[in-house]
Structure 1
Amino acid sequence: MARPVTNAAFEALLKAAGYGNAHAAFARQLNHAGRGHGTWRYDAASVYWWLRGRRPAEHVQATMTDVIGRKLGRPVAAAELGFTIAQVPATISYPTSAGHAFGAAEQLWAMLAKQLTPASSETFQSDVALQAALAWRYDLPDETVSRSRRQPVTAGDIQSLYALADHFTNLDRRHGGGSPRARALMADFLVRQLAPMLHGTYTDAVGRELMRAAATLSGQFAFMSYDAGDHRIAQHHLTIALRLAKAADDRLYGAHLLANLATQAVYLGHAQEATRLAEAAIDGAGRVPAGVRARLYTTAASAYGRLGEGRACQSALAKAERALDRATPDAGPRWVNYFSPAHFAGTALKCLSDLHLYRRALRHAPDAITLAGQNARTRALHTALIATTHARAGDIDTACGWGRELARHVADVHSARVNHRVRELTAALTPHQAMPQVNELLLALAATPPPE
């Protein structure tokens, strides 16, 4: 049964312009008029959803006014289209189908492309996260994800999506996810390029790969939002990406996304829920390559460490370290190649520090900073953590040395997580601020300008 029209103003304009029963013709004219923005692939299905409440991005609306205005012979204002300002849904939910995931994603992307909201409060809907984990793990797989619309999607189109995902990942690692401009640029790409592809024509095999690419891009946007401190947007995207990974039949990437949800839960103080999410990721992944196993058990260790469960934490660290020793390049999915001994060492340092085992934690410090040069954010995170751990262990002089190193890195990274680590170091050093080197460092960190 067709859904009722909710945007009567847009329907009236289409009828007045002669497109009332020619939605496909309107979509073709829109694609042609918008070719300066890239390759648009809107079709009659796109018009169907616009009439029923979906809101296209502002630049798409501007092109709509041009197309309709030419037919009517008069200027058409954007307000006449009847699209209301989109809001991020207050309640996060795991999409019941791949199609619902498309709709939820497109709604978010259209809003974020031009009107990124201020960073949300540190909220995490743990019950929703656990429900999503259960649905991802136990719901029946999608029998098919093939679609038949006007615009065909090819394997070459999908490879271009992966190339752009790599580009945004590199930007994130070099500069942090906190730049609103970078996230707005990515959201604009998602709504203009990826959303029309999801509504295109593809076989089941191509569709599975398209779902995997869409999950990758949505997961990357989620991680950038998490790093920026916009936790509601991050959880929305992780939940959507989890459903897309389910549609792709990619349990390894789904487990990775679930582990990212656990990481977000740890950061926001939901350690108990984080342990459940991490264990669900391990269980749902099944038999996995060594690199993936190392990544998943490292996340579980982080959750147990934050919870204060020392035995479980150290057991997970041992399993992760053994797996990492067996990991070989190109033996797992491409996305796991980021996880290096330095990432494991940084998490091990944090886990053991959470357990107040500061000296044992600092044994991992040398490995934690052996990072590739372009990974500026992780270098800043680990440097701050090493400095704070030295301070908590009572070694103030060494803490200040690492703090001075941090001050050289922090100005280049726009990251709420890095800022949080700086505040942790400041809190650990403040009781010693009578010491000249501590006072000098605190002043230097306070004066560090945020990146643009």
Structure 2
Amino acid sequence: MARPVTNAAFEGLLLAAGYGNAHAAFARQLNHAGRNEGAWRYDAASVYWWLRGRRPGDHVQAAMAETLARKLGRSVAVTELGFGAADSIGIRVYPASVDGAIDTAEQIWTRLAKHLNQNASGVFDSGKALEAALGWRYDLPDETVSRHGRQQVTSTDVQSLYALADHFTDLDRRHGSGSARTRAVMADLLVRQVAPMLRGTYTDAVGRDLMRAAATLSGQLAFMSYDAGEHAMAQHHVMLGLRLAKAADDRLYGAHLLANLATQAVFLGHPREAARLVEAAIDGAGRAPAAVLARLHATAATAYGQSGDRRACHVALAKAESALQRMGADPGPRWVGYFSPAHLAGAALRCLGDLHLYTQALRHAPDALNLGSQNTRTRALHTALIAVTHARAGETDAACDWASKLRQHVAGIQSARVQQRVRELANALGSQQASPQVNEVLRSLAPVSAAS
């Protein structure tokens, strides 16, 4: 099955230049334009992959622009080709091999540990996200992941990594991930402990479990980066986690990571891409445990809600609720144990609010706050969302009451997502600033929304 085109800009130029159905001809002209660079042997297959997210070198892009300019009769800037800037950390979208995934892991963990990504993390790239999703879903499984290296790795060694992941997960839920130091500490542990294990000696069975543990750690670091607003770094770690989950032959955790990527896409306002990502996750998960399906369909509902697809949103919510009712007999993997009726209620509150169904949305407010004490950040996010929904419904007094409750929940939390939701509340109340009550709420929440 052909993969979908992700570089619409390049496709448009090929069509305009008459190469829409003549990719081989374009490749021949490109080889001629680059003759001074050596013996290029690009062909129609090369064009196929360029249209689907692969990025040629800068010198190749220059020859592409020259080739297209001759046909179009005008100058063509390299920036028009749609390939973007070179990756700030130089990794592949989705490593083709297990060895490539191990190299990538060590590289990005090392750079994060050294703070080299600070102030230069880039932006979320939906094309790369979709390419990684397709690779995870359709690439052949790895025949073996056994390895011979310096360090012997045992099942006991791998179990210690799960304990490490649990520790950082708990910190993240209680305090948020806004601290760059916390993420750097985690990355440093990955460099010093996990990377040597990945390059060690292990059987196929131990190796699969090691890949699963490394995927879990990469997924947690991805979510922490997302919560901190480091969206490109979060995406890199999710894509790495997807490849490691593939090596582990763990389709359920891979689906979970894709759903996390979809959640990030919703946060950044890319609902169509989010829907495609979570649809790939649901398809790849197959006959999954009820808890996993509940989480996946809840994420799908948020994507459909943001895109304005009312029918699809309601269908996804119904599927999530049905799965949630079956969770008692089918709890699923340990990593999905966090997902509760409160999390589904929060998703319903969000997507129904996006559809302007405020009365329906607010019916889920009580359940959305029925959270365990460890879910400090989620409580703040849901409280802010309730306030935002009241404000958008025109219920200013109720919005202010919930905003007052929010102040006690945001103390001690470092989270770009919480800050963003507080800004949404301020925007929703902005037209009522003449009200002393609203003015007081906005003044009290200003330090939160402005925090860095």
Please tell me whether the aligned partners of residues 120 and 229 of structure 1 are also in contact (alpha carbons under 8 angstroms): no
Write the mapping of 1:17-416 to structure 2, written as runs, cut at 5 A: 88-89=88-89, 93-118=93-118, 123-328=123-328, 331-416=331-416
Residue 417 in structure 1 maps to residue 422 in structure 2: no
The farther-off stretch of 264-273 and 152-161 is: 264-273
The aligned residue for residue 12 of structure 1 is: none
| Contact 1:153 1:202 (8 Å CA) reproduced | yes
Secondary structure at the aligned position of 1:108 is classed as helix
Runs of 5+ unmatched residues, structure 2: 1-86
For residue 451 of structure 1, report the CA deviation from its aligned partner.
Answer: 7.8
Task: Classify 1:353/1:413 alpha carbon distance in 2 versus 1 (closer, same or farther; 3 Å).
Answer: same
What is the CA-CA distance between 1:91 and the residue it aligns to? Answer: 6.3
Using the alignment, how far apart are the partners of 1:91 and 1:113 within structure 2?
16
Segments of 5+ residues of structure 1 without an aligned counterpart are 1-86
Give the counterpart letter for 2:99 in structure 1.
Answer: G
Name the SS for the 1:136 alignment partner: helix
Distance 2:328 2:197 in 1: 34
Q: Is the 8 Å Cα contact of residues 176 and 413 (structure 2) preserved in structure 1?
A: yes
Q: 1:121 to 1:104 in 2, by over 3 A?
A: closer
Check the 8 A contact 1:120/1:231 in 2, yes or no.
Answer: no
- Output the amino acid matched with 2:437: Q
Work out the CA distance in 2 between the residues paired with 1:151 and 1:394: 63
Per-residue CA distance 1:264-300 (angstroms, 9 max, x = gap): 1111111111111111100011001100010010111
Distance 2:214 2:450 in 1: 32
Alpha-carbon displacement from aligned partner over 1:370-416 (angstroms, at most 9, x marks no partner)? 11111111011000000010011111111111101111121311000
Q: Deviations over 1:48-106 (max 9, x none)?
A: xxxxxxxxxxxxxxxxxxxxxxxxxxxxxxxxxxxxxxx94266510101110111111
Residues 203 and 279 of structure 1, relative CA distance in 2, 3 Å threshold: same
Q: 1:119 to 1:358 in 2, by over 3 A?
A: farther
Deviations 1:307-333 (A, max 9, x none): 000000010000000100110277311
- Return the alpha-carbon distance in structure 2 between the equivalents of residues 415 and 242 of structure 1: 24
CA distance in 2 between partners of 1:395 and 1:449 (Å): 22
Q: Residues 451 and 392 from structure 1, CA distance in 2 versus in 1: closer, same or farther, beyond 3 angstroms?
A: closer
Q: What is the identity percentage for the equivalent residue pairs of Structure 1 and Structure 2?
A: 68
Instruction: Check conservation: 1:412, 1:451, Cα contact below 8 A.
Output: no
CA distance in 2, matches of 1:451, 1:175: 15
State the alpha-carbon separation in 1 of the partners of residues 328 and 316 from structure 2. 20
RMSD of the TM alignment (CA)? Answer: 1.6
Instruction: Note the alpha carbon deviations across 1:426-449, whole angstroms, 9 max, x for none.
Output: 001111111111111111011449
The answer to whether the 8 Å contact 2:298/2:320 transfers is yes
Total equivalences in the alignment: 366
Counterparts in 2 of 1:260 and 1:92: CA distance versus 1, 3 Å: farther
Q: Give the whole-Å Cα distance in 2 for the aligned partners of 1:401 and 1:121.
A: 37
| Alpha-carbon shift at residue 231 of structure 1 (Å) | 0.4
Q: Is the 8 A contact 2:238 2:257 kept in 1?
A: yes
Change (3 A) 1:380 1:120: farther
Partner of 2:429: 429
C-alpha distance in 2, partners of 1:414/1:173?
Answer: 11
Runs of 4+, deviation exceeding 4 Å: 119-122, 448-452
**Is contact 1:225-1:234 (8 Å) kept?**
yes
1: distance between equivalents of 2:218 and 2:88?
Answer: 15
- Contact residue 152 and residue 202 of structure 1 kept, 8 A: yes
Q: Does the 8 Å contact 2:420/2:449 carry over to 1? A: no
Cα 1:119/1:236, change in 2 over 3 Å: same
Cα distance in 2 for residues equivalent to 1:448 and 1:112: 26
Deviation at residue 450 of structure 1 after TM alignment: 7.6
Q: Comparing 89-98 with 147-156, which one deviates more in the overlay?
A: 89-98
Distance 1:137 1:388, change over 3 A: same
The answer to whether structure 1 residue 441 and structure 2 residue 441 are counterparts is: yes
Cα deviation for residue 123 of structure 1 reads: 2.3
Q: CA deviation at 1:199?
A: 0.3
| Residue-by-residue CA offset, 1:2-26 (whole Å, 9 max, x unaligned) | xxxxxxxxxxxxxxxxxxxxxxxxx
Whole-Å Cα distance in 2 between the matches of residues 368 and 120 of structure 1?
Answer: 36
